[in-house]
Structures are given as C-alpha cells and as structure tokens.
Amino acid sequence: MNFTGKSLHQGDVEFFEIKELPKGLKKIDKQFIAASEKSGSFHALFGNYDMYEVDDNSFIVDCKEECILNHSLKEILENANVSLNEAKVLTKKDHRHSIIPKGIHFIGIQQRFDPLEGFKIKVRD
Amino acid sequence: MKNLSDYTEEIKSKISIYKDKCVNDLYNGTEHSLWKREYTVNYINYIYKLSNEKDKPVVVIADNIIEYKLYFNLLFNERYNKKSTEIINFVHKIINDPNSSSEDISNSEKLILDLKNDLSHIKTDLIKAETHYLFICSEYARVYLMWFKFIKDEFKLNTSVGEKLDWLYDNVNKSNIAKAFFCKNIVLVLRMPKKIKRNSVGFHSVDNEGAIIYDNQKLHYINGRSIPNWVFDKYFSKTLTFKDFVNENNEDIKAGIITLIKENEGNEGLIKFLDAIKVDEQIIHHANNYSETMILYKTKSKYSFLKDSKGNTNVSYAWLSMNCPSTGSNYLIDTCPTFTDVLECAKWHRPNQINSKIPYFWQSAN
C-alpha cells in the first residue's frame, strides 16, 4: 500500500490515507469497523463510500465525499433510524465524531500486547 | 417568523442561567432534600390527564435503583405480586372515587408506602426491571423542557401548547423523576439520585462518596465510565494491589484505576503503585494545535511469567501511557518491555500494515 502519511484516529480505530486502491481487494457491504457486544458500542463510517476487506481486523474505504466516523451505541443508531449511507453525526458514546476526507483510506485497529503470551493481540472492547 | 439575527448575544448569554436552573439543585442535593411525594404524584397525574386517561394511576416511588428492581418484582412478577396487586387495585379505586374522603385517600396512600416493608421478601426468581421512555417524564425531560422554555420565552413565541409545557417546566424538577414504568392503573417511579458529581466528560468522582449518590446506594464513575465498587472499596481501604490491576482485563476499569490513583496521589503515587520507573516521556505535536504526552513505564522487578515480543521470559511489565483526547482518560496499555523510546513504542502498536517509517502524526484525533 502506498501511504500518503496522512492519518487520524478515533480511539483504537486508526485511518491512514493511501494513494490508490490496491488490486485484488474484495468489496464488501458496509459494516461496523469495530463493535462491542458487551457495551453495544461501535465505530462506523457513515456516508458515500465503498468498503473493502483487507483481513478480519482491517478495511479499506474509498470515500466519494466527506464521511462521518461515529462512535456510538447500537441503541442510538436504531432510534435515529440512520443508515450507513448517510453522512450524519450520531450522539457519541465516548469519542467525538471524526470527519473523514474524500479519498482512499486504510483502516486498522490499534494493536494490544499480551505480556503473558509475548505477542500482539486484537483489542478487546 | 424568527431568524438567526434574532439570536442576539444577550439571548445567548442567558443560556447558562437556564442550564444552571435545570441541574444545579439536582447535582448539589437541594432538590432531593426538598422533595415531597405529592410533587411526583401531581406530575404523573398531569401527564395521565394530558394523555386523556380518565383515572389517576397509583404511584409507587423507589428511592434508589436496588429498590426499583425490588418494587418491579413486587408489582409485576407473578411470583410476588398477588398481595400487592390487590392493594394497588384497592387504592386505585379509592383515589378515583369522587366520594372518597380525604382521610380515605390519605389512608390508601399509607398502604402504598407500606409496600416497602414487603421488599425484603423478594430474593429469588427475579425478573428484569424495565422502564418506559417518555420524553416528558425521564431524567432528560428537564433538559427538553428547559430548551422549550428558553426558545419560547426569549424569542417571545406563541404556541398553542405553551401553557401545558410551562406547567411541565415549572414542575418537572421538583417531581424528581429519573425513570418510570407506566401502566394503566399504576406507575413505578425511580427518583433522581440524592447528589450527582460530574466533570466536563460525564459522571465523575474520585472520592469514595460516589458520582451518583442515593440514600443507600452509590455508583462510581470516572470520566463518564462506570467503575465497579470493588475498585473504590479496595483503594480507600488501602488493599488495592498491583495484582488486582494486572488481573483486570477491561481497559476502561484499568484506566479508572490509573485515574483514581493519579488524581488522589499524583504521578508519584501511580509509579509507586506500579513499582515502576519512567523509561521515556515525549510530547508529540499533531495537527490543529493538538499535542499528546506519551510516557513509557516499566516495572523495576522482573517476572518469570511475563514474556517480551522476542519470546524472552523473566522480563519487566511495561506500559505505554496515552490520553484519550475525547474523554480525557489516561490509558496504560500493556506493551513490550524492550522499548526505550516511547514514540517507537506507539508506532509499534499501530496496525501491522503501517511501518515505522510512516510518521506518528494525527491530522485529527478524537
């Protein structure tokens, strides 16, 4: 991936701008970037974009215009009756919303380290 | 028709007055101490009248969350509600009978208050207590009504429902309602807490009184996150150990422990608790004047059960200290003890695809 060096984060969710879409990506339906079953919270991108799967913990999005990254609760999303296609700000859970500029972005989650095992692990929310 | 030019600086300056009136007496305990049962009952009756309900409901009021759960079972759990249903039906008849004397009504109210004595029998097979959301009758109702009042009075707007909303605004605070469960003949109400402590993020308190305080119950919050009682109980009885911290898997609770120690004892207290040394500290300047202080800590002792990322055992415990720009919470993230440069350490925690040559620089951080 050809990174531009521009990056932003909302809690553990990190966005890194890339110059072009890598080849061979699998386009997927829009989905939460990260979600916690325990607290009902989620990080999700709202607006006009295409989403591609990189692995089970990271994605690439091609934002056709400015999109909104919300950290909110599933309950709030249901009551707001907003779909992932609409660039709308939801009531925040912990983290303020972020504006994701038009362009292509790699999305990953900040990695944790397990000192008992000695390797990096997927973050637990 | 009003437009933005009507929204003058003078009007804007009044918002804080409305906000203070909305919550100050709730937070400092005045509202709780001046409360009378009739205030809540009158508010509920008014709402039922607005809803064109013919009869007044029987109002049962719980003083705290534990009591609310018990009342919910006493009233709605078939295992426990035989006697209480008879009482409720009896009282409902009395309070809605135009021929009832004031003495009859007063005696029937006593029956409702006496239900509290039956709560101690409720112990097993509990059902989950529920609440209904009604925007003029919840913990948020006072805020909605405050904005209505501000807009109506300050912009001098006429509205057909103005009189009704004025009544609700004038009475919502003293009704002291946090949550409620509405039925045709009965309403179960949870009162507001006795006192509430907040910071700019949300509920927040680092003393042992709690952030949400009821008469016989307290709930702890740090920077808006719920923290279990055991953390405070152990900390204030001086029995909280480093092992408790290590064994805790939830990052928010870990962050709560760190904040609790830091706000009570400062950084020195925290380092002592962790038996750690500061390995490196750097201030990273990002876009939009946002800067971030990151610290790398390591325990002085080494532990046989710990491993570094190279597979070596008998190593130190190490943490990367980062602040969340949205919540202000301080997080100590477990990290590999081989690092001596906190910036390199922070880069290492980025997703695998991001190599260390890509600068650690955020255009936006929330």
> pTM of the predicted model, to two decimals?
0.68
Q: Which residues, at least 6 apart from B160, have a Cβ–Cβ distance to it below 8 Å?
A: none
- Torsion over CA of B298, B304, B306 and B310, rounded to 10 degrees? 90
User: What are the C-alpha distances in Å from B364 to residues A65, A99, B326?
Assistant: 17, 8, 11
The crossing angle, in degrees rounded to 10, of helices B15-27 and B141-154 is: 150
pLDDT at residue B254, rounded to an integer: 87
User: Angle CA(A91)–CA(B256)–CA(B279) in degrees, nearest 5?
Assistant: 115
pLDDT at residue B306, rounded to an integer: 80
pLDDT at residue B70, rounded to an integer: 97
Q: B219 forms bridges with which residues in the sheet?
A: B212
Contacts with B359 from chain A: Cβ below 8 Å: 5
Chains A–B, number of C-beta pairs less than 8 Å apart: 106
For the sheet with B186-191, list strands across it: B58-62, B186-191, B177-182
Q: In chain B, which residues have pLDDT < 70?
A: none
Q: Return d(Cα A53, Cα A43) in angstroms, integer.
A: 16
pLDDT at residue B201, rounded to an integer: 80
Neighbours of B120 (CB within 10 A): 8
Cβ(A40)–Cβ(A73) under 8 Å?
yes
Question: How does residue A52 score in pLDDT terms, banded at 50, 70 and 90?
Answer: very high
Q: Return d(Cα A14, Cα B245) in angstroms, integer.
A: 27
Q: Return d(Cα A11, Cα B326) in angstroms, integer.
A: 8
CB–CB of B305 and A116 under 8 A?
Answer: yes
CB–CB of B349 and A111 under 8 A?
Answer: yes
CB–CB of B334 and A114 under 8 A?
Answer: yes
Q: Which of A10, A108, A113 sits opposite B366 (nearest CB)?
A: A10
User: What are the C-alpha distances in Å from B124 to residues B127, B129, B188?
Assistant: 9, 14, 21
Q: Return d(Cα B5, Cα A111) in angstroms, integer.
A: 50
Contacts with B311 from chain A: Cβ below 8 Å: 118
Boundaries of domain holding A69: 3-121
CB–CB of B351 and A14 under 8 A?
Answer: yes
pLDDT at residue A123, rounded to an integer: 60
Q: Which residues, at least 6 apart from B33, have a Cβ–Cβ distance to it below 8 Å?
A: none
CB–CB of A112 and B311 under 8 A?
Answer: no
Query: Which burial class, exposed, middle or buried, applies to B143 when counting CB atoms under 10 A from its CB (0-12, 13-18, 19+)?
Result: middle
CB–CB of B306 and A115 under 8 A?
Answer: yes
CB–CB of A7 and B336 under 8 A?
Answer: no
pLDDT at residue B17, rounded to an integer: 96
Residue count of chain A: 125
When divided into structural domains, chain A yields a total of 1
Contacts with B326 from chain A: Cβ below 8 Å: 10-11, 92, 94-96
Give the burial string for A22-52 (b: 16+ CB within 10 Å, else e). Answer: eeeeeeeebeebbebeebebbbbbbbebebb
What φ, ψ does residue A120 adopt, rounded to 5°?
-75, 145
CB–CB of A113 and B351 under 8 A?
Answer: no
**Nearest chain A CA: its distance from B191 CA (Å):** 24
CB–CB of B366 and A108 under 8 A?
Answer: no
Cβ(B327)–Cβ(B201) under 8 Å?
yes
pLDDT at residue B302, rounded to an integer: 86
pLDDT at residue A122, rounded to an integer: 64
Does B365 reach chain A within 8 Å, measured CB to CB?
A: yes
**Nearest chain B CA: its distance from A29 CA (Å):** 22
Q: What is the DSSP letter of B252?
A: H
CB–CB of B326 and A114 under 8 A?
Answer: no
Contacts with B327 from chain A: Cβ below 8 Å: 94-95
Q: Which residues, at least 6 apart from A105, have a Cβ–Cβ distance to it below 8 Å?
A: A15, A16, A17, A18, A60, A61, A63
Does B302 reach chain A within 8 Å, measured CB to CB?
A: no
Q: Which of A58, A96, A115 sits opposite B317 (nearest CB)?
A: A115
A60 vs A94, more confident: A60
Q: Return d(Cα B177, Cα B61) in angstroms, integer.
A: 9
Q: What is the DSSP letter of B117?
A: G
Q: Which of A96, A112, A115 sits opposite B366 (nearest CB)?
A: A96
Contacts with A40 from chain B: Cβ below 8 Å: none
